[in-house]
Amino acid sequence: MPLLRPDPTFYPSPRMAMKAPRERLAYVAAMNPKAALRQGDTRPDAFLVVDVDPRSSDFGKVIQKVDLPYSGDELHHFGWNACSSALCPSSPHPHVERRYLIAGGIRSSRIYILDTKPDPSSPKIVKVIDPDEVKDRAGYSRLHTVHCGPDNIYISALGSATGELPGGLLLLDHDDLEVLGRWEVDRGPQRIAYDFWWHIAYDIGITSEWASPQHIENGVDLDALMNQQYGRRLHFWDLRRRKHLQSVDLGEGWQMILELRPAHDPTKTYGFVNAVINLQDLSSGIFVWYRENDHWKVQEILRIPAEPAEEDQLPPALKPFKAVPPLVTDINLSLDDRFLYLSCWGTGQLLRYDVSDPFQPKPAGSVRLGGIVSRAPHPKVGPVNGGPQMVEVSRDGRRVYFTNSLYAAWDPIFYPDGVKGWMALVHADPDDGLTLDPEFFPEIPDYLRPHQIRLEGGDSSSDSFCFP
């Protein structure tokens, strides 16, 4: 009798995924900011393939660049077509494989499908979904984040088809990669969109809030920010019925509630989210959400303070404050749910906390690279600008990769002398802190800025699991 065998990169549990083979390749979405902002350079965005195998003679080098066929997409967060959630008994898809990379343009609302087979080091664009098709079938635009779910592929969108609110989620079919439509059946009070994740075993979805397209596409709208028109809530959903259940406000002064990192253990009902800025003191915050008596609550567990600075060291937008905000713009959680990583794009720090007790985080290491004022050097090239931004953790938790660009319209506000794109690697010892790799610093084409990273075979933010 023939057997239907699942993709070997799928694992029933995070514990098993941690024992997977080491990644050999990293896929990196890189955007051309001048094309995104229509500043004359029309070269398209690209996917970069970086060799991360220390046994290879090409270790730390860009070994392939896949140019997109259109200009000005502004690639942002991308993901796999399928992952370990395909093994979930509630909606099994054992016939799918982790093969295609799905990416949306935050400027263009266009979707790209890249095939990583037969040669993972040389992916090819095999399908492009036109933005008009996305808008017509799903009613959304400004595509942001891609996650593979057990039933379909989910993509978040910041705006409606006309670029206004509400934003939300749309679905692609696992098999033919066609747009199915809008995910929400009853969205309740939710209007602002950003990230999304879930507690699969409990049929609970979570979404976060950044801002409406009009408040981000031309830079930070300071009036809107000071009037607290950026996001400050989490939303909880009935995942199966696609129905809004509850909203939780993170509190007065908090703005831009971004990355959602639920516990990987499916028996746990908590997770972490970052708030980029507090209007009172320019700090960033880390919150934990949790379930109590069938209701969802949120508690602040960390506050990362701003750092004092001389006015002449600061970009114009920050001079009146005489301080550098940390600007925690990304977080990531190791597969064993032990370590939470925070990227401080403003101060140039990558922080690690032991969150074995999610309500009592403990410092567990840090490195500095870049930063608005510090411009902390990399051993290979000297001082750099930008700072740790998008963070990805290997499945075994031993390596942390990160890039330095946030968003085309926002980079020059905080780094007015320009952001030269880079990617770095930190080695993470569970008992002995973090160490910056002195040699790993791929040469990124000057016109590109790298953003999201995905690792071959999966990483700490690609998969969700149905078994502990």
Residue 150 has what pLDDT?
85
Task: State the CB neighbour count (10 A cutoff) for residue 122.
Answer: 12
Q: Is the pLDDT of residue 2 over 80?
A: no
Average pLDDT over residues 371-382: 97
Residue 5 has what pLDDT?
66
Residue 375 has what pLDDT?
97
Lowest mean pLDDT among 1-5, 290-294, 329-333, 464-468: 1-5
Average pLDDT over residues 229-256: 97
Average pLDDT over residues 449-463: 97
Cα gap 458→34, rounded to integer Å: 31
Cα gap 283→124, rounded to integer Å: 42
Average pLDDT over residues 50-73: 98
Specify the residue for token string 């400050």. 232
DSSP 275: E
The phi and psi torsions of 200 (rounded to 5 degrees) equal -60, -45
pLDDT in tens, 396-436: 999 999 999 999 999 999 999 989 999 999 999 999 999 99
What are the structure tokens assigned to 443, written together?
């040469």
Give 2's contacts (C-beta < 8 A, 6+ positions apart). Answer: none
Residue 94 has what pLDDT?
67
Residue 3 has what pLDDT?
46
Element at 368 (helix H, strand E): strand 362-368
Indicate the residue type of 156. Answer: S
Q: Is the pLDDT of residue 103 over 90?
A: yes
Element at 137 (helix H, strand E): helix 131-138
Average pLDDT over residues 277-289: 98
Burial of 46 (0-12, 13-18, 19+ CB in 10 A): buried
Cα gap 423→80, rounded to integer Å: 21
Confidence class for position 15, pLDDT limits 50, 70, 90: very high
Q: Is the pLDDT of residue 231 over 70?
A: yes
Residue 4 has what pLDDT?
54
What is the bridge-based pairing of β-strands 62-67 and 46-51?
Answer: antiparallel
Distance of CA 245 to the CA centre of its chain: 25
Confidence class for position 93, pLDDT limits 50, 70, 90: confident
Cβ distance 45 to 17 under 8 Å? no
Task: State the CB neighbour count (10 A cutoff) for residue 34.
Answer: 16
Residue 6 has what pLDDT?
83
Select 14-455's CATH number: 2.60.40.1180, 3.60.10.10, 2.130.10.10, 3.50.50.60. 2.130.10.10
| Average pLDDT across the chain, whole number | 96
| Closest by Cα among 311, 78, 315 to 220 | 315
| Closest by Cα among 394, 199, 222, 227 to 289 | 199
Sequence-ordered alpha helix ranges (H) in 179-256 = 222-226
Q: What percent of the chain has pLDDT over 70?
A: 99
pLDDT in tens, 327-372: 999 999 999 999 999 999 999 999 999 999 999 999 999 999 999 9
Residue 1 has what pLDDT?
36
